[in-house]
Amino acid sequence: MTSLRVLIIDDHLVTCKGYEYFFENATNDGLIPNFEIVFAHDCKSAHQLILSNNKEKGDFNIILLDVQLPPYPDEKIFSGEDLGLLIRSNKPKTRIILQTAISDKYLLYNIFKNLNPEAILIKSDLVEENFVICIKEVLKDIPYYSKTFSKLLRNQFSQEYVLDQDDRELLYLLNIGISSKEIPKRLIWSSSKVEKRKRLMREKFGVDDRNIISLLNAARKAGFL
């Protein structure tokens, strides 16, 4: 098999180096094909690389995508999940391997439903052997889920718990201190839509009071911020 292209999107340099080490060992041992590896450490640089048109080398064959990344609000990219949706829309043949330190079932369920990546790796489960198996399976179009996520699938998720793009954008603005009165101007929403979205998110997160801090803390605890 010819050399393939992989994009690693993670804001932790040590993690990126670890993945690079796994790739180098596996290719040297002949377990997986040779790869050209490119790195991005935030949503902005990842956005540019995903949409770039490299006529000579083609699109990325695999993208390793972290969930929590520095956002790119100019393009409404607030997380790795938003980048994943961008990949799905613009590069449908690219295989997505979601890798995250988060094990919260609600966030993982949200991503699984919205993005349906080819693989989900929980970093606490990750060792070199599992990583190589994941790459080999994904290249054969076989989904791969690490132990923690597989357990969640076996147990099934207890409720529909999906936040869409509007929810994530609203959470982002609240998190950076934009008041509820200013948000309708930013998002071109009615005030009633803002209040309805907040109410629905409070219900999803089990927040009893109307305090914005309580909502943000619950969203942060679930891994959405």
Terminal-residue alpha carbon distance, the chain: 40
What's the pLDDT at 89? 93
- The answer, yes or no, to whether residue 100 has pLDDT greater than 70, is yes
Q: What tens digit of pLDDT does each residue of 155-179 get?
A: 545 445 567 888 888 998 999 999 9
Identify the burial level of 175 via C-beta atoms within 10 angstroms of its C-beta, where 0-12 means exposed, 13-18 middle and 19 or more buried: middle
What's the pLDDT at 109? 77
Would the pTM count as exceeding 0.75? Answer: no
Measuring CA to CA, which residue among 197, 69, 225, 208 is closest to residue 216? 225
- The answer, yes or no, to whether residue 30 has pLDDT greater than 60, is yes
| DSSP-H helix ranges across the chain | 13-28, 43-51, 80-90, 105-115, 128-139, 147-155, 165-175, 183-187, 191-205, 212-221
Q: What tens digit of pLDDT does each residue of 103-131 get?
A: 777 778 778 888 999 999 988 888 999 99
The whole-number average pLDDT for the span 176-192 is: 90
Q: Residue 218: phi, psi to the nearest 5?
A: -65, -40
Q: How far is CA 42 from the centre of its chain?
A: 12
Identify the burial level of 45 via C-beta atoms within 10 angstroms of its C-beta, where 0-12 means exposed, 13-18 middle and 19 or more buried: middle
The whole-number average pLDDT for the span 145-158 is: 71
Cβ atoms 8, 42 nearer than 8 A: no
Q: What is the CATH number of domain 4-155?
A: 3.40.50.2300
What's the pLDDT at 85? 94
Does the CA dihedral 14-60-142-162 come out positive or negative?
Answer: positive
- The answer, yes or no, to whether residue 94 has pLDDT greater than 60, is yes
Cβ atoms 170, 193 nearer than 8 A: no
pLDDT band (50, 70, 90) for residue 1: very low
DSSP-based three-state secondary structure for 124: helix
Query: Do 165-221 and 4-155 fall under one CATH topology?
Result: no
Q: What tens digit of pLDDT does each residue of 55-91 get?
A: 677 789 999 999 999 999 999 999 999 999 999 999 9
CA dist., res. 60 & res. 201, Å (int): 35
What's the pLDDT at 125? 86
For 11, other C-beta atoms within 10 Å of its C-beta total: 16
Cβ atoms 31, 42 nearer than 8 A: no
- The answer, yes or no, to whether residue 224 has pLDDT greater than 80, is no
The whole-number average pLDDT for the span 135-149 is: 90
Residue 37 exposure: Cα atoms within 13 Å on the Cβ side: 17
Of all residues in the chain, the percent with pLDDT exceeding 70 is 92
Q: Can you list the positions of beta strands (E) in the chain?
A: 4-9, 35-40, 62-65, 95-100, 119-122, 144-145
Q: What is the CATH number of domain 165-221?
A: 1.10.10
Cβ atoms 37, 9 nearer than 8 A: no
Q: Where along the chain do its domains lie?
A: 4-155, 165-221
Q: How does the average pLDDT of the chain come out, rounded?
A: 87
